Structure 1
Amino acid sequence: MSYKTQLFILALVLGYQAQAQYSPQPAFKGVAGKTLSETRSGNTAFNPVAPAAAPNIVYILLDDVGFGASSAFGGLVETPVFDSLANNGLRYTNFHTTAICSPTRACLLTGRNHHSVNVPTVIDVAIDAPGHNGYMPFEKGTIAEIARENGYNTFAVGKWHVTPTPDLTPAGPFNRWPTGRGFDHFFGFMAGETDQYTPMLWENTQKVEPDLHGQHLTTVLVDKAIEYIAGQQSAAPNKPFFLYLTPGATHGPHQVERKWIDKYKGRFDAGWDHYREAVLARQKKLGIIPDSVTLPVSNGGVKPWDSLSPIEKKVFARFFEAYAGFLSHTDYEIGRLIHYLKDIHQLDNTLIVLMIGDNGASKEGGLTGHVYGINEYIDQSLFEEKYEDRIREIARRYNDIGTSLTGPNYPAGWAQAANTPFRYLKQDANSEGGTRNPLIIFYPKKIKQPGIRTQYTHVNSITPTAIEIAGLKVPETINGYKQDSLEGISLAYTLEDAQAPARHHTQYYEISGSRAIYQDGWKAEVYHRNGASFSTDKWELYNVANDVNEQHNLAATNPAKLKELQDLFEAQAEKYHIYPLLGDTTPRLQALLTKGPFDTQQQSVLYPGVTQLPARAAPSLFQHSFSISAEVEIKDNSTEGILLAAGGRFTGFSFYVQGNKLKIAHNNNGKLVYLEAAQPLKPGKAVLKYTLQYTPAKKLVDPAGTEALYINDEKVAERKITKADATIMPYDEGVDVGLDNGSAVAPQYKAPFAFTGVLHKIIVDHQKP
């Protein structure tokens, strides 16, 4: 056994002491004598013991993939490992998620509906209301908590995104972090996405340095999963494990080594319309969809491929080459895990549940795609900038698309193609395109006859399925909390019977006002445009048992069935706290969000050592008036470095000293704007101050106030700003004090560019509206 493995096992043991299972004092069955020679061991078991021959359980959840992307479900992206798992297991073609990431994960982990566990949409914008606040109840235990109480070791590796954002601070609380919800170990990122080369990583509750030294995040995650399993199997070879593996793939940014992108060079030049036709034919050949299915009309705004200009075709094809390379790379890395399980003779006794997507393909690239990261979608620059200008800028970065130099997501035309044969996309909870995803269950011990399963099911059913197959018991209480019942319907009945009648009869869907209700092959639904009044919503009706991709609206011809389902939705809404609906003309203002410690402070004091604090969990710098003061000691004319930085190379803000001058930099989706003091700094103690006076504006390019720099209350620089300059809420990289961890906000310096003087503290003051 290597020294590294010995250290890992020691850490594992110490970790268990910190995250103990429920373990009441057992009765002693031996003899306790007056001396050791008179004592006989009772062979006392102090911890839960798993059921005999209980399988290892592995959940693998991918992100934003699309139903028609992977070759395992007819797509043109090569995924040989997924193909092998499907060909030796079961393909489920009628499996559904919630239409967006956090709710899907909450359903998966708990076996319950997402409003039932207070996760109505992405956790970052949870609202302080029942069913919406982002705090998953302890009365609704996770699969990790249940497995651990049944004698399993439990590991989470990859994307989490179900801890309330206000809790993502160094003060926690940590009881809703992965290690507080049943996982012995966690290694991954807490947000909805992260950079694949400079990620915001945590191990358990400790920050991990973001520099991966050129390695891709998915590679690092699989390495960590193997490390956890190796340590566990070395220390307790007869003990099963539960692994929750959730790489960031293929959520944006679509980044991967160039060799994976080049693998697909030229293969999508025929465009997204040809892709849809080819995939539809492949899906029919595989038996994924009925032969009668035709392609629905295109989603709004998507142009026919043949109508595009040569430059549009060139850059759009490159976007999908990058995406395809990313997905194939993910398949390869998951293959390393599968081969490792085979090498250690655990594969045959491992239940693998592979979900190829947590929702439909992503619309977050807009009509043009983007190259500077998710903030182009969040701040709406994706939609405000001129189409032609965006195409020219993307073309300028053509050779970098998909590499670490860009943060890309493909245009909506490719999202539509990746979702073949369905309409609509991620976030559209009304539609099969938003909610239907490929599911593969692989378990050699139980599945002897591979095949296809068409029974209706939902992501809330995965945990009940695993519990039944593994023979686990749901404790009446977990950590002192009496447990509520599971809400999903186990799929174990389908493993040996392809013709078994479906048992999941009713299921609601709702994300930001888009909503639907399913019952026994019928579905009533509403597409809601975010920001529109609910009074304009129109219900539609589909018989999805016969019309799998929702092309024939029967609302006008069968109003009685529509009314029946509408009434059912209302009953479900009351039962699961679906209301209030989000996404109408009422903005989700700070006052409505679930509060964190910084949200209630007029003044915040930050000290050196704070690093990668998520922007939503940090003092807000977003579209309001504030000041940042740094109490420092300047040693000499060579003193330099970061005072406060938020974000990284694609989007962010930096307050720093360089060349003996006080400076700030705005990185607005790759567009750099600077302000520099007119006079140099002097050695000694000083208060260096930045102020932003915000005037509300409509568009990002509109004037929105002023910003200024001060040295000891003397103004040394000032400029007028736009709304874009005041839109400081970077997503992929957080707030740092005294350095710029991760990637540099501005190319004028190299990260981490730590401050070489003495930085005592940073004070952020917010002006009252």
Structure 2
Amino acid sequence: MFALIATRCLADSTVDRTQLPIPDVEPKGYTELDVRNVEPPEPYKALKPPEGAPNVIVFLLDDVGFGQSTLFGGLVEMPTLDAIAEQGLVYNRFHTTAVCSATRTALLTGRNHHQNNMGSIAETATAFPGNTGMRPNYIAALPKILRYNGYKTAMFGKNHEIPPWQTGPAGDQTLWPSQVGFEKFYGFFGGETDQFQPVLVDGVTRIKTPRTEGYHFTTDMANQTIDWLNLQHSYNADRPFFVYFAPGAAHAPHHAPKEWIDKYKGKFDMGWDALRKEVFERQKKLGVIPKDTILPPMPDGVARWSSLTSDEKKIFTRQMEVYAGYLAHTDHEIGRVVDSLKKTGEFDNTLIFYIVGDNGASAEGNRNGSFNSLAFYNGIEEDPKFILDNLDKLGSEDSFGHYAKGWAIAGDTPFVWMKGTASDFGGSRNGMAVSWPDGIKKDKNVIRDQWTHVVDIAPTVLDVAKLPEPKEVDGVKQIPMAGKSFVASFNQPNAESKHKVQYFELGGNRAIYKDGWFARVIHWPLWEDTKKFSTLQDDKWELFDITKDFSLANNVADKYPDKLKEMQKLFDQEAFDNHVYPIDDRTLERMNAEIAGRPDAMFGKKTLTLYSGAKGIPENSFLNIKNKSFDLTAKISTDNVKDTNGVIIAQGGNFAGWSLYVKNGVPTFEYNWLGYEYTPITSKSPLKQGDNEIVVKFRYDENGKGGKGNNAGLGKGGNAYLYLNGNLVGEKFIPNTIASLYSLDDGVGVGEDEGGAVSKAYKAPFIFNQDIESVTTSIVD
């Protein structure tokens, strides 16, 4: 329960806010029998924050590079971002952790990502401290602190902070938004969702995928945010709010309304090499980078634009047009939220952090980009011809695309690397604009170059709200925040940077910052297999003086060997203190709970029986049948064979998965390999009246050649057999299977295929219209 406190204490400055929740006032006892003879006490009211505490909104974009918005020299027009900057300030030395889950938990707690046990993304948690995915109780999130102090709190969009085995409908909800301090949550839990067919949660309830014409999730979440803000203004105008607005954009899948994509037709025909140079020159003119900044060469792993074929250029430019339209559309929807604040008069007293990316631009599209970005998570390099043949569908609901890695490097101008490379500012430096008309005096010098980090957001919010960092929350002693408030920089352009030391680590890419020095290791680029690069023990450290070298272009390790040793020693200490060691540089392997060694919702089960109503089950809450033989047994009943239709059970969605369904009384098992291959096995016989048993037996071909791009026995094919009431009614060889991941959000459902449709033979959700007794899935050794 969130505390209530007597009115007489509302303005009492002696209230101890370091212990949360604040204890209730002990009620007075009475001896008088008749209430009419007693003067009533003051009514109890909700505790309010200190006088003058502002509203706070954090807008956090996803997978956006430092140099992609017009504010930071790019070509993507973002007028809302520009307006926030014009009204307030621009921070050009703001840093993230270089990956989404880690950045998000650091933002909401003020602690480093390994302190939060989120050393990577939630789906790659392990058993080691620093990487378990389970935020400890001695770290209370900012929304809980604010709510206990009287703020109204809400979150909209991407969460991605919950360990995968807890995201299911029957999972432990201790880390769900409603439990960490958000009164309202509307969004999704995974790393991404289909923007046209999202898998959504409202509060603690999985809701039906919206299927209205012209639907787009970013528009939906903006509508939800505006409605919530208007409600607060109507009923709680005397209480400040904290809103966390985190769209899926511009993470894959790159989805945008066609009219927004078409606005960028031809804008990127110059290619990524030329774009990078143009952005660099524009950044110097704008002053967002020093005029003496050096533009380092693009990495060798990126093809030069002049070496590409005309077809490749056609593919790649369209990919970037889609991304630009997606990002611009998102800024437009954020603008609608900001406009709603102006209409209600809340804008001037709202502190806005507009953070342009939770990490740098993403190279997860590899060399060619993709029509289906799930290919990346399954170790598949997509055939460019497939993309070319479907080029007009890019950005639409029929695609799940990502752009080629060359655009990511250009998007991170003036830096070299990208998302995932925590040891390069291309991975960790993101633009940020801050606005607060009532608290930031208008200044000609809008650029702030104080060294700041995402962990600094929480202490800054507490600072402006005049709230102390709590020492105890819910009876648990708290560890101090790692971040430092940068409020002083709001009105003092030359204020000293309070953030003096910061480590970085992700997948072996590691670095340490201290007072203008930066030592780092580039262990491996995101698009490459770690096996192609040096071992952790053999990594070579570099050193940079970033007071003179904004883009990390000049390695001075040989010039200052003693400084490098000092910095390496400091990294070791920070790594120990924050549970960074032992470093885990495994990649796709960690998507598999069995390999990673993390808890699993199945707890070693080899058989799972689901019943009617089991829906919205994430991949990590279902048996892992990938790269294995399995049996599927469904018991159903029908009173009208010819009119029997619908999905009995399905896993995944449009772009990867499998489904057991019935059409006009005839069962079919179908496997969808990344939208490239559809293998349906349709029964030779229809169902019979009454009870039926449908069995699918899949036998994995461990000794086979495997699917395209697969290795080490993963993603190979196998024989599938379909039985109806004990009779073999169909069989077929499935050439390729999913190696690592069906979907980051679209899970398993009994009686429907919610989210995207696995098969093109039906339209989701294709609800089963007869009775399902049970569906049993079993792993076969």
Is residue 2:618 matched to residue 1:614?
Answer: yes
Which consecutive unaligned segments of at least 5 residues does structure 2 have?
A: 1-19, 711-715
In the alignment, the residues of structure 1 paired with residue 776 and residue 547 of structure 2 have an alpha-carbon distance, to the nearest angstrom, of: 60
Post-superposition shift, 1:741? 1.2
Post-superposition shift, 1:32? 8.2
Deviation sequence 1:580-608 (CA, Å, 0-9, x none): 21124994353334213224222111122
Post-superposition shift, 1:131? 1.4
1:576-655 mapped onto 2 (5 Å cutoff):
576-584=578-586, 587-588=589-590, 589-591=592-594, 592-635=596-639, 636-655=641-660
Which letter does structure 2 place at the counterpart of 1:466? V
> For the Cα contact (< 8 Å) 1:63–1:359, is it kept in 2?
yes
> For the Cα contact (< 8 Å) 2:377–2:740, is it kept in 1?
no
Is residue 2:670 matched to residue 1:700?
Answer: no
Task: Identify which range, 640-649 or 144-153, moves more after superposition.
Answer: 640-649
1:500 equivalent in structure 2: 495
2:90 equivalent in structure 1: 91
In the alignment, the residues of structure 2 paired with residue 264 and residue 334 of structure 1 have an alpha-carbon distance, to the nearest angstrom, of: 20
2:15 equivalent in structure 1: none
In the alignment, the residues of structure 1 paired with residue 462 and residue 573 of structure 2 have an alpha-carbon distance, to the nearest angstrom, of: 28
* Structure 1 pair 579–615 and aligned structure 2 pair: CA distance change class (3 A): same
Deviation sequence 1:654-703 (CA, Å, 0-9, x none): 11122433212122121212222333332231221112222336752375
In the alignment, the residues of structure 2 paired with residue 324 and residue 593 of structure 1 have an alpha-carbon distance, to the nearest angstrom, of: 39
1:480-559 mapped onto 2 (5 Å cutoff):
480-529=475-524, 530-532=529-531, 533-559=535-561
Task: Identify which range, 759-768 or 435-444, moves more after superposition.
Answer: 759-768
Is residue 2:385 matched to residue 1:392?
Answer: yes
Which letter does structure 1 place at the counterpart of 2:679? V
SS in 2 for 1:429: coil
1:176-325 mapped onto 2 (5 Å cutoff):
176-213=175-212, 214-325=214-325
Which among 759, 768, 774 is matched to residue 746 of structure 1? 759
Post-superposition shift, 1:312? 1.5
1:13-52 mapped onto 2 (5 Å cutoff):
22=21, 24-28=23-27, 33-52=32-51
In the alignment, the residues of structure 2 paired with residue 728 and residue 365 of structure 1 have an alpha-carbon distance, to the nearest angstrom, of: 16
Post-superposition shift, 1:406? 1.0
Which letter does structure 2 place at the counterpart of 1:401? L
> For the Cα contact (< 8 Å) 2:601–2:620, is it kept in 1?
no
1:423 equivalent in structure 2: 416
2:468 equivalent in structure 1: 473
* Structure 1 pair 491–212 and aligned structure 2 pair: CA distance change class (3 A): farther
> For the Cα contact (< 8 Å) 1:542–1:552, is it kept in 2?
yes
> For the Cα contact (< 8 Å) 1:28–1:42, is it kept in 2?
no
SS in 2 for 1:272: helix
In the alignment, the residues of structure 1 paired with residue 419 and residue 705 of structure 2 have an alpha-carbon distance, to the nearest angstrom, of: 27
Post-superposition shift, 1:297? 1.1
In the alignment, the residues of structure 2 paired with residue 745 and residue 585 of structure 1 have an alpha-carbon distance, to the nearest angstrom, of: 27
Task: Identify which range, 186-195 or 668-677, moves more after superposition.
Answer: 668-677
In the alignment, the residues of structure 2 paired with residue 344 and residue 585 of structure 1 have an alpha-carbon distance, to the nearest angstrom, of: 47
In the alignment, the residues of structure 1 paired with residue 185 and residue 60 of structure 2 have an alpha-carbon distance, to the nearest angstrom, of: 15
Over the matched positions of the two proteins, sequence identity in percent amounts to 38
> For the Cα contact (< 8 Å) 2:754–2:764, is it kept in 1?
yes
Which letter does structure 2 place at the counterpart of 1:290? P
Count of matched residue pairs: 741
* Structure 1 pair 714–580 and aligned structure 2 pair: CA distance change class (3 A): farther
In the alignment, the residues of structure 2 paired with residue 29 and residue 232 of structure 1 have an alpha-carbon distance, to the nearest angstrom, of: 33
1:136 equivalent in structure 2: 135
Post-superposition shift, 1:353? 0.9
Task: Identify which range, 280-289 or 634-643, moves more after superposition.
Answer: 634-643
In the alignment, the residues of structure 2 paired with residue 593 and residue 226 of structure 1 have an alpha-carbon distance, to the nearest angstrom, of: 42
SS in 2 for 1:471: coil
1:422-441 mapped onto 2 (5 Å cutoff):
422-441=415-434
* Structure 1 pair 599–713 and aligned structure 2 pair: CA distance change class (3 A): farther
Deviation sequence 1:99-158 (CA, Å, 0-9, x none): 000000010000000000100100011001211110111211111011011110110111
Which letter does structure 2 place at the counterpart of 1:285? K
In the alignment, the residues of structure 2 paired with residue 684 and residue 456 of structure 1 have an alpha-carbon distance, to the nearest angstrom, of: 70
* Structure 1 pair 27–684 and aligned structure 2 pair: CA distance change class (3 A): closer
CA RMSD, 1 decimal: 2.0
Post-superposition shift, 1:720? 2.7
SS in 1 for 2:283: helix
> For the Cα contact (< 8 Å) 1:64–1:250, is it kept in 2?
yes
Which letter does structure 1 place at the counterpart of 2:757? A
2:401 equivalent in structure 1: 408
> For the Cα contact (< 8 Å) 1:65–1:356, is it kept in 2?
yes
SS in 2 for 1:437: strand
* Structure 1 pair 698–422 and aligned structure 2 pair: CA distance change class (3 A): farther
1:561 equivalent in structure 2: 563
* Structure 1 pair 72–586 and aligned structure 2 pair: CA distance change class (3 A): closer
* Structure 1 pair 584–556 and aligned structure 2 pair: CA distance change class (3 A): farther
Post-superposition shift, 1:24? 3.2
> For the Cα contact (< 8 Å) 2:367–2:404, is it kept in 1?
yes
> For the Cα contact (< 8 Å) 2:656–2:738, is it kept in 1?
no
Which letter does structure 2 place at the counterpart of 1:345? G
Post-superposition shift, 1:446? 1.5
In the alignment, the residues of structure 1 paired with residue 578 and residue 769 of structure 2 have an alpha-carbon distance, to the nearest angstrom, of: 54
Post-superposition shift, 1:462? 0.7
In the alignment, the residues of structure 1 paired with residue 238 and residue 30 of structure 2 have an alpha-carbon distance, to the nearest angstrom, of: 28
Which consecutive unaligned segments of at least 5 residues does structure 1 have?
A: 1-20
Which letter does structure 1 place at the counterpart of 2:620? R
Task: Identify which range, 64-73 or 38-47, moves more after superposition.
Answer: 38-47
In the alignment, the residues of structure 2 paired with residue 112 and residue 195 of structure 1 have an alpha-carbon distance, to the nearest angstrom, of: 30
> For the Cα contact (< 8 Å) 1:65–1:361, is it kept in 2?
yes
In the alignment, the residues of structure 2 paired with residue 437 and residue 261 of structure 1 have an alpha-carbon distance, to the nearest angstrom, of: 24
2:695 equivalent in structure 1: 689
1:338-417 mapped onto 2 (5 Å cutoff):
338-372=338-372, 374-382=373-381, 385=382, 390-417=383-410
Q: Calculate the TM-score normalised by the size of structure 2.
A: 0.92
> For the Cα contact (< 8 Å) 2:706–2:717, is it kept in 1?
no
In the alignment, the residues of structure 2 paired with residue 748 and residue 585 of structure 1 have an alpha-carbon distance, to the nearest angstrom, of: 35
Which letter does structure 2 place at the counterpart of 1:652? G
* Structure 1 pair 584–156 and aligned structure 2 pair: CA distance change class (3 A): closer
